[in-house]
Structure 1
């Protein structure tokens, strides 16, 4: 007989139902075998599904394991923000803005939740860093249906990582950003070393003087045609902005708009702290709305497909 386990659905990086990025949260991860976690993530068919475990540290409230439909991630933003909100709604963490800790494969995440504003905040467990070589501009143009003239020069030469890794491309206008027509055949599985083998983040800084960035995120080879809100990409983007000299000393707050083209508008609050020209802290924050709750039937081991 199958076992049953509880799950929740939250819309993350939005305060409006049916906006933001939907997230499945399984609240008793210890009851589910690892191979079933990946199968459940494929079954839910959301950009990410998170499983909550008892803490692995005396200083943490819970441990997170995060899955895309096609693999596990060391850290991701919207599962973290959604988990913070779910834990706060269940009375398991402070909801008055005090800090508490969660853990994930990438490390410890310092978190907070303010019930008055419904804003969850997470300090990234690792600072963004450049890794590997970015796809050629011609490959990105082919993948997006754009021309070389649509992009800002010079090209971005590195991938950037915040746990997951991302390829970035900057376009000149938001109209161009919204005109992207993705060619999925240009993407290959992450880490394959062929063509575009990382999630592709296309962004526009036309409104940067107003502390606004417009973003779209694509990862079709990982089962995610387009992602309506990508918190870990926001963290990685801060590394790129710092490398471009666009983050001053002190604190800077940026509002990232994503998901508009998908009809799931999202807002990610990105905050950076720079001291003596060094990026020392990056956090993301946003609201989350509880949308559903239920029970999932987990097959017994004998029925697991081989």
Structure 2
């Protein structure tokens, strides 16, 4: 075992401990996949990341991203959280104002501006309507009539999200899904707020088969939803999404569109600094 720098950050909230926590192991070169997965399972957070030396000359660092049960090629809140942890530990980006992260999904640019970070959403690797039998199953999982689902689309960008659109934020907040029926499906639900609200949409994320059944705030899902909602003219960027409300969180995800590219941003706060023996 080796003593390595360790940090925990809170992602997508202006108030510490009201967003989504991320564990970050620094100087993780030399750890095996099995050791990383074991530690990620032990932290029992939505994700744990491991900072490594980059293999690409364009990247500032390389990261591996683990849930409690598997490794992901990409995830949103770990991308912003890892960048913040790297910067706080003294990292200096090669490009002024932009961190380049290397992960299994490729190189991910991350803008650093004042008190907010934003990543460029990677392309969706599966982006198509959901078959009707699966939509009916999702309605049963969510405990709502099939007619309440206005639309559904695969939004795979690392995690295997299925986006589900309801008619209102209140419908989203009222959901009481049946975890036992979800299997390994990853379901993201979105509905619009009234025009007087601070945020334009409410989002909830349900991850079947994962110890963290409802994810507090989810960058990858919001990236996929943004692509889908703007492509179908349901939403216009820029807009803000709220997530984690029913969990007592105050997640705020800021979506913008530049040259056809989706950017997903939010505030990140460092909360824990220390060491870990791995």
Query: TM > 0.5 between the two?
Result: yes
Name the counterpart of 1:174. Answer: 169
Counterparts of 1:273 and 1:207 in 2: how far apart (Å)? 26
Q: Could you tell me which residue of structure 1 aligns to residue 212 of structure 2?
A: 224
Equivalent position of 2:179 in the other structure: 184
Deviation at 1:126?
Answer: 2.5
Q: Which moved further from structure 2: 129-138 or 36-45?
A: 129-138
Q: Say which SS state the counterpart of residue 38 (structure 2) adopts.
A: helix
User: Hey, what's the Cα distance between the residues in 2 that align with 1:127 and 1:168?
Assistant: 12
- Residues of 2 paired with 1:246 and 1:146: CA distance? 22
The two structures have a TM-score, normalised by structure 1, of 0.82
Q: 2:275 aligns with which of 280, 286, 295?
A: 295
TM-score by length of 2: 0.90
2:16 and 2:5 map into 1 onto residues whose CA distance is 21
Q: Please give the alpha-carbon distance, in whole angstroms, between the structure 1 residues aligned to 2:112 and 2:254.
A: 14
Deviations 1:237-265 (A, max 9, x none): 123214423366xxx21111001110111
> 1:182, CA displacement in angstroms?
2.1
Query: Residue 24 of structure 1 aligns to a residue in which SS?
Result: strand
State whether residues 9 and 24 of structure 1, in contact with CA within 8 Å, keep that contact through their aligned partners in structure 2. yes
* Corresponding residue number in structure 1 for 2:52: 53
How many angstroms does 1:97 deviate by? 6.5
The equivalences for 1:99-110 within 5 A come to 99-110=98-109
After superposition, the C-alpha distances for 1:270-303 in whole angstroms (9 at most, x for unaligned) are 11246xxxxx3111111111111232233xxxxx
Provide the residue aligned with 2:66 in structure 1: 67
SS at match of 2:110: strand
What value does the CA root-mean-square deviation take over the aligned residues? 2.4
What is the rounded CA distance, in whole Å, between the counterparts of 1:174 and 1:247 in structure 2? 14
Cross-structure match for 1:259: 244
1:144 is matched with which residue: 124, 142, 145? 142
For residues 106-151 of structure 1, what are the alpha-carbon distances to aligned partners after superposition, in whole Å with 9 as ceiling and x for unaligned?
111112223xx321121123356515745633322221222335x2
Unaligned runs of 5+ in 1: 190-196, 275-279, 299-306
Q: How many residues in Structure 1 have an aligned counterpart in Structure 2?
A: 276
Q: Distance in 1 between matches of 2:274 and 2:223?
A: 32
**Closer/same/farther in 2, CA of residues 226 and 283 from structure 1, 3 Å limit:** same
Does the 8 A contact of 1:123 with 1:283 survive in 2? yes
TM-aligned CA deviation for residue 207 of structure 1: 4.0
Q: Is the 8 A contact 1:14 1:286 kept in 2?
A: yes
Residue equivalent to 2:34: 35
The SS at the match of 1:16 is coil
Kept in 1: contact 2:127–2:156 (CA 8 A) = yes
- Matched residue SS, 2:233: coil
Query: Please, which moves more after superposition, 87-96 or 62-71?
Result: 87-96
In structure 2, the residue corresponding to 1:78 is in which secondary structure?
helix
Contact residue 227 and residue 262 of structure 2 kept, 8 A = no
